[in-house]
């Protein structure tokens, strides 16, 4: 398939949003990693405080390699904090750690959106691996031979790939809620003082934007393939 400028027309806004969100996240994290919390709590200590106050005793807090690779695994109840977060008493580290602890609290309290997201993981993984590839094959068939067969293949790929979009859409309230819990409880539990909330908010708000950018990118990818296959009234030429 030849170079298609329409691909960049569709994807350019999402691409720019992704770059901006990534820049904002890294910039905010770097800035507030240099601001020490007045409480002196590290990321690991802040996460433990959050869990203890919520009455959660069965979640392990462990260090993990990488930068901004922090995550909570509901399967084995492990809260993994990256090296710059785990042992660092900074506003950025505490913000990220409290956010991940927020996911553990969601799990313990049976937050429905988190459960739905966990159920969607296998389907989203399949859609991510196969959907784009199938859509590409369908579009190539259209450009080579035309007809409805290629469009049908694109449609099959789009259905598979849409599982990724559904997963990302469900992820948004999960992430927003975890950040909301982190911001409120970090102050309530004395992990950060009210005047330190601004830095924490900037780090978490920037990180949340990356999830929005990912969903927009997936949506625009779907729209591109559907439009180029003539399934949205677009041209195949």
Q: Look at residue 237 and tell me if it is in a domain.
A: no
Q: What pLDDT was estimated at residue 4?
A: 80
Q: 175: closest CA among 200, 199, 210? A: 210
Could you give the number of structural domains in the chain? 1
Q: What pLDDT was estimated at residue 6?
A: 87
Beta-bridge partner residues of 79: 61, 72
Q: Look at residue 13 and tell me if it is in a domain.
A: yes
Catalytic amino acids?
A: 100
Q: Look at residue 123 and tell me if it is in a domain.
A: yes
For residue 12, CA distances in Å to 3, 17, 19, 20, 101 come to 15, 9, 11, 12, 35
- Give the C-alpha separation, 57 to 226, whole Å: 48
Q: Look at residue 138 and tell me if it is in a domain.
A: yes
Q: Look at residue 234 and tell me if it is in a domain.
A: no
Q: Look at residue 25 and tell me if it is in a domain.
A: yes
Q: Look at residue 196 and tell me if it is in a domain.
A: yes
- Asked if residue 199 lies in contact with residue 35, where contact means CB atoms within 8 angstroms, the answer is yes
The pair phi, psi for residue 82, each rounded to 5°, is: -65, 160
pLDDT in tens, 31-49: 999 999 999 999 999 999 9
Q: Look at residue 19 and tell me if it is in a domain.
A: yes
Contacts of 45 (CB under 8 A, 6+ apart): 89
Greatest alpha-carbon pair distance for the chain in Å reads 67
Query: What's the domain range around 122?
Result: 5-228
- Asked if residue 86 lies in contact with residue 63, where contact means CB atoms within 8 angstroms, the answer is yes
The pair phi, psi for residue 80, each rounded to 5°, is: -100, 125
Which pTM does this prediction carry?
Answer: 0.90
Print pLDDT tens along the chain (237 aa).
456 888 888 999 999 999 999 999 999 999 999 999 999 999 999 999 999 999 999 999 999 999 899 999 999 999 999 999 999 999 999 999 999 999 999 999 999 999 999 999 999 999 999 999 999 999 999 888 866 888 999 999 999 999 999 999 999 999 999 999 999 999 999 999 999 999 999 999 999 999 999 999 999 999 999 999 988 864 554
């Amino acid at each position: 398939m030849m170079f298609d400028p329409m691909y960049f027309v569709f994807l350019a806004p999402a691409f720019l949003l992704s770059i901006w969100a990534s820049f904002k996240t890294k910039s905010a994290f770097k800035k507030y990693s240099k601001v020490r919390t007045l409480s002196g709590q590290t990321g690991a200590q802040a996460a433990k405080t959050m869990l203890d106050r919520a009455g959660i005793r069965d979640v392990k807090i462990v260090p993990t390699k990488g930068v901004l690779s922090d995550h909570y695994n509901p399967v084995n109840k492990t809260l993994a904090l990256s090296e710059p977060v785990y042992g660092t008493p900074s506003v950025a580290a505490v913000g990220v750690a409290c956010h991940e602890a927020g996911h553990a609290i969601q799990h313990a309290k049976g937050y429905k959106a988190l459960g739905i997201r966990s159920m969607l993981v296998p389907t989203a993984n399949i859609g991510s691996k196969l959907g784009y590839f199938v859509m590409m094959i369908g579009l190539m068939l259209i450009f080579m031979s035309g007809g409805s067969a290629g469009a049908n293949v694109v449609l099959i790929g789009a259905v598979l790939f849409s599982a990724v979009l559904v997963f990302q859409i469900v992820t948004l309230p999960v992430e927003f809620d975890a950040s909301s819990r982190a911001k409120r409880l970090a102050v309530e539990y004395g992990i950060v003082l009210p005047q330190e909330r601004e830095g924490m908010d900037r780090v978490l708000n920037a990180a949340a934007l990356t999830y929005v950018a990912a969903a927009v990118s997936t949506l625009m990818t779907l729209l591109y393939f559907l439009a180029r296959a003539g399934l949205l009234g677009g041209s195949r030429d």
